[in-house]
Chains A and B, each alone.
Chain A
Amino acid sequence: MSSTRSIPDRLRSPIERNLKSWESLLLLVAVGIFIANSFASPYFLNAWNLSDATFNFTEKAMIAFAMALLIISGEIDLSVAAIIALASTAMGAAVQVGVGTPGLIFIGIAVGLLCGAFNGVLVTGLGLPSIVVTIGTMSLFRGLSFIILGDQAYRGYPPDFAFFGQGYVWWVISFELTLFAIIAVIYAVLLHMTNFGRAVYAIGNNSTGALFSGIRVGRIKFILFLLTGLMSGVAAICLTSRLGSTRPSIAFGWELEIVTMVVLGGVSILGGSGSIPGVVIAAFVMGLVTFGLGLLNVPGIVMSIVIGALLISVIALPRLWSMWRSA
């Protein structure tokens, strides 16, 4: 063997690696569910029904993309659904004093950013564990909605505001689906093709090592909380527009569904790995399961069993398999 040798860049090509990835497995599951659904119900293969089905996941998925980055970096934000509630309440209050659609959008986004910044300051500024901080802010943000609204509801959104949750861009393609696709592309590029995304992975794999490599760990985590808040604000606009009303219990329990979507998409809850395409496929899987079971008149709560079992089994099955093989 010669003493000076060149080290190859890669041993396995990216294509080969992708074929064996979690994402391709998940894609097979999605296709399987799609086929099973189309056999199970005659109403499934209908463009308008399928289009309606996308509303099951578009708003949650928008937040899930930002959440995926946050979880990859080793943090979590359980306050996202509460941010929706607070942002929606703020928009509802603004409607009462006659604010128009552009103002409502500004308010929704601003409240989202403020809540995200609040989480970010507590976690990165004071060095607190994000899971506890966001359990706290989750109660705080939704609690503020309850203080403002009690058991009342805000209605009376301007007619043109309805476009964001109910409008269609072209044929069956809704505004929400279009926004979902655009946001997915933005986050995929951000995570997989930029220096920022590389730093997110580095922090998630070893935040001390990243800090010692000159990465501005605090700043990047703060931006991730800000992005999660921003996406919650955007989701609040879409959801409020779709429902046409605001109650303090809006989007209740969504944080768990969003985390499930992210983990199902192959993001490690311990941080350090995961991809946006995985989350996109997971969003479709969850949407298809919900829609398919809905067509079969299975109630929502049973779907949650399926989702819960899916969450555990997607992690447990590969481990059981490797245990069984090594035994």
Chain B
Amino acid sequence: MQLEIRPNVSSRTAPDIDPLLSLSGITKTFPGVRALSDVSLKLFPGKVTALVGENGAGKSTVVKVLTGIYQPDEGGIRIGGQPVRFPTPQSAENAGVTAIHQETVLFDELSVAENIFLGHAPRSKFGLIDKKAMVARAREILSGIGAKIDPGATLKDLGTANKHLVAIARALSIDASVVIMDEPTAALSQKEIEELYELVENLKRQDKAIMFISHKFDEIFRIADFYTVYRDGQMIGEGAIEDVNEPELVKMMVGRDVSQIYPDRDHNIGDEVLAVEGYEHPTEFANIGFTLRRGEILGFYGLVGAGRSEFMQALFGITRPSGGSVAIDGASITIRSPAEAVASGIVYVPEDRGKQGAIGTLPIFQNVTLPSLARTSRYGFLKLAEEFKLAREYTERLDLRAASLDTNVNNLSGGNQQKVVIAKWLATQPKVIILDEPTKGIDVGSKAAVHEFMAELAAQGLAVIMVSSEIPEIVGMSDRVIVMREGRIEAELDRKDITPETLVTHAAGISEAVQ
């Protein structure tokens, strides 16, 4: 247990108005974890309150308490001063609390209108669903948020952004006084984000109390009126947004000063190791070509949905490209499966750790040795001692924190899970390592460790491809950057040209306009 003096909960600017919704003394424990410990939260009518905290700070748990998905062990919720209880999601909706959740919570096989009104559809006589009224109301709500979507369309025929708008429409279909937005802009384009901001302003004018969860500081400072900071399931501070600045917020979030310093690197770039030419796929990407050298970190930047991960998964053999060629050390190879990619020395650390990266229900050592079993076995028979030896070598190199190598990966924190995935690949002694959003969902402390390790790998001569949507990370780590837009390479930038401005303009496809 770290000895640390907990900062006084600072409540510097108490607003004159009474909160519409308040949480006090909320505690929630899960087996082995105290997710929330005596936290509070206030939401005011006509105001936006930003809930800020690192991953694992308890933000999602609070959202689930507020929407009736979790029951708190202790503490109470008040709406308009009256104590309320939300034993079910339905009861939270009835009390006027609605949420736009982080994950898509929609149903592909149902129509747009049915998705919006699932659980609270207008009824006709005999208690049947009144389809006409439902479609009319859906059309009304959709046009209210500026969405041009047919309420009768089946959801699976919609694009990602439109699905998101349906999710927002669903939240607004409940005549709610409290609207919770859990990272609502994560899947949206810049234009859609602007529209969302307008929507938030609109909701403020209707005197709704809004809770806004975001990792983007520019966003928080732009639309929030108040902030609340959680850390490790505890309440750290709250106040008016104009009384705080970015470094202060970060300090509250992480509990120490963190200047985002990226490791110094000698840029010892060696021979060409990977050459890709003319990679294409019917719907996902076209004409991707580049080279990569030993010791180099090549950044792939672009907006979410620009086709970067899709291309990387094709390069790793998950999907089949419709054309193109790859060469490793000058020799042409074909990659038809991940097994072949690994055999050629290309490995991939996926963005989705839970599903694709690690096998959470198996122990650490089995995860690490899985692609290297041929080396730790004899004639196909396992040799456990060899496995433990290999697993220890690489997990210790990465400074993994775990009770034992026999611990299941699921019991580790996000940062340590990522270390297991990286250790797994380093044990195969690859030539090219692809890291897809390597620090997404990892706390600030582990982030720095991953960056330093990346620099060390490059220094040892490994060729690194880093897919990232975080501009500071791209600028801080890359020797060279490829910017992708709509499935194509928009620009290739050398070290001296990598600035936030060039990245953003190329990613948005407005570079010509700027020039």
Contact = CB atoms under 8 A, between A and B. Distances in A.
B370 A202 contact: yes
A9 B395 CA distance: 12
Given A7-B402, A9-B388, A215-B339, A210 B361 contact: no
A195 B318 contact: no
Contacts of A208: 355-356
A313 interface: no
A206 B404 contact: no
B48 interface: no
Contacts of A9: 365, 388, 392, 404-406
Contacts of A193: 381-382
A112 B473 CA distance: 57
A209 B357 contact: yes
A216 interface: yes
A205 B361 contact: yes
B404 A8 contact: yes
B360 A213 contact: no
Interface string A1-42: 000101111111000000000000000000000000000000
A201 interface: yes
A12 B405 CA distance: 11
A128 interface: no
A233 B381 CA distance: 27
Contacts of A206: 355, 358-361
Contacts of B399: 4
Contacts of A195: 373-374, 377, 380-382
B403 interface: yes
Given A206-B355, A209-B355, A198 B396 contact: no
A216 B362 contact: no
A213 B359 contact: yes
Which range contains the number of B residues in contact with the other chain?
A: 35 or more
Contacts of A196: 380
A45 interface: no
B318 A209 contact: no
Nearest to B356: A212
A201 B362 CA distance: 9
Contacts of A215: 338-339, 370-371
Interface in A165-217: 193-199, 201-202, 205-206, 208-216
B350 interface: yes
A202 B362 contact: yes
B366 interface: yes
B381 A194 contact: yes
B371 A213 contact: yes
B373 A209 contact: no
Contacts of A201: 362, 366
A216 B339 CA distance: 6
Contacts of B343: 214
Contacts of A211: 318, 338
Nearest to B347: A214
A272 B408 CA distance: 13
Nearest to A189: B381
A40 to B, nearest CB: 42
B360 to A, nearest CB: 7
B400 to A, nearest CB: 7
Contact of A213 (B361, B370, B396, B400): B370
B392 A7 contact: yes
Contacts of A213: 338, 359, 367, 370-371, 424
A197 B399 CA distance: 30
B382 A198 contact: yes
A193 B379 CA distance: 11
Contact of B338 (A197, A198, A214): A214
A270 to B, nearest CB: 11
B356 A205 contact: no
B102 interface: no
B416 to A, nearest CB: 11
Contacts of A8: 403-405
B301 interface: no
Nearest to A211: B338
A205 B366 CA distance: 12
B373 A216 contact: no
Given A10-B404, A202-B370, A214 B339 contact: yes
B382 A11 contact: no
A210 B424 CA distance: 12
B337 interface: yes
B348 interface: yes
B406 A11 contact: yes
A9 B385 CA distance: 10
Contact of A214 (B371, B392, B395): B371
Nearest to B403: A11
B34 to A, nearest CB: 18
A6 B392 contact: yes
B445 to A, nearest CB: 14
B342 interface: yes
Contacts of B362: 201-202, 205
B66 interface: no
A210 B343 CA distance: 15
Contact of B342 (A12, A205, A214): A214
Interface string B400-417: 101111110000000000
Contacts of A202: 359, 362, 366, 370
B465 interface: no
Given A206-B361, A209-B355, A213-B424, A198 B406 contact: no
Contacts of B360: 205-206, 209
Most buried by A among B316, B318, B360, B361: B361
Contacts of B422: none
Given A195-B373, A209-B356, A7 B366 contact: no
A4 B341 CA distance: 34
Contacts of B367: 213
B394 to A, nearest CB: 11
A271 to B, nearest CB: 10
A126 to B, nearest CB: 16
A214 B341 contact: yes
Contacts of A12: 406
B405 to A, nearest CB: 5
A12 B381 CA distance: 23
Given A205-B360, A212-B350, 19 more contacts: A6-B396, A7-B402, A7-B403, A9-B392, A11-B403, A11-B407, A194-B380, A195-B377, A198-B370, A201-B366, A202-B362, A202-B370, A205-B359, A206-B361, A212-B318, A213-B338, A214-B371, A215-B338, A216-B339
12 contacts: A4-B399, A7-B392, A7-B405, A11-B403, A196-B380, A198-B370, A199-B373, A212-B348, A214-B338, A214-B343, A214-B428, A215-B339
Interface of B: 316, 318, 337-339, 341-343, 348, 350, 355-362, 365-367, 370-371, 373-374, 377, 380-382, 388, 392, 395-396, 399-400, 402-407, 424, 428
Q: Which 7 A-B pairs have the closest CB atoms?
A: A214-B342, A195-B373, A214-B371, A10-B406, A209-B359, A206-B359, A212-B356
